[in-house]
Amino acid sequence: MNNLILTNSLRFIGLVLLQVIVLNHIDLFGYLNPLVYITWIFLFPIKKDKNLFLIASFLLGLSIDFFSDSGGINAAATLFIAFVRLPILKAVLRKSDFDYSQFKLRSISFDKIFLYIATLTILHHFIVFSLGYFSFSDFTTIIFNTFFTSIFTVLISIFGILLFVKKK
């Protein structure tokens, strides 16, 4: 088995287990629940097959939905950020064309990593909370939860990436 496939498979399983067993039970101040399983999307290699990536991302969200009993909102949000990941990365790097085979997340500057992760996290959380509340009357609650949960998730994700991913 290819080392890259093994690494991504173990990362997938590890992040799902971390989210389901530990992080879903964290509820700081009544509303902060970090959703760090989306880190798998940030770290998945860009040069791989996009269809496989979208299917795996959907399964990632569906796995979280299965254990969280959330009815598919994580699958929808995860699939969306997987779909827009490449255009957002191109916008953050300000390049129309870059070498996919040479790209590593840890090889770009910290401010670009932060912007990339924060953008995708805010999009993901906004979709999750919008579908969770599904009401215009709760718009301020959606924005409030999106903002503060995104801050918490981005900090944990960046710390995990810096700690566990090798710099190349």
d(CA 71, CA 39): 21
Give the pLDDT of residue 46. 82
Cβ atoms of 36 and 157 within 8 Å: the answer is: yes
Domains, the chain, ranges and CATH?
Answer: 3-164 (1.10.1760)
d(CA 101, CA 129): 35
Please tell me the pTM assigned to this model. Answer: 0.90
- Count other Cβ atoms within 10 Å, centred on residue 74: 28
Q: Rounded to the nearest 10 degrees, how much is the dihedral formed by the CA atoms of 120, 115, 3, 16? A: -40
Q: From residue 88, give the alpha-carbon distance in Å to each of 82, 116, 133.
A: 10, 7, 26
Give the pLDDT of residue 101. 55
pLDDT 10s digit of each residue in the chain, 168 long? 578 788 889 999 999 999 999 988 887 777 788 899 999 999 888 877 889 999 999 999 999 999 988 889 999 999 999 999 988 988 888 765 555 556 677 778 889 889 999 999 999 999 999 999 888 888 999 999 999 999 999 999 999 888 877 766
Residue 146 burial (C-beta neighbours within 10 Å; 0-12, 13-18, 19+): buried
Give the pLDDT of residue 23. 84
Residue partners of 28: CB distance under 8 A and separation at least 6:
152
In the chain, count of helices (H) and strands (E)?
6, 0
d(CA 51, CA 144): 34
The three-state secondary structure class of 1 is: coil
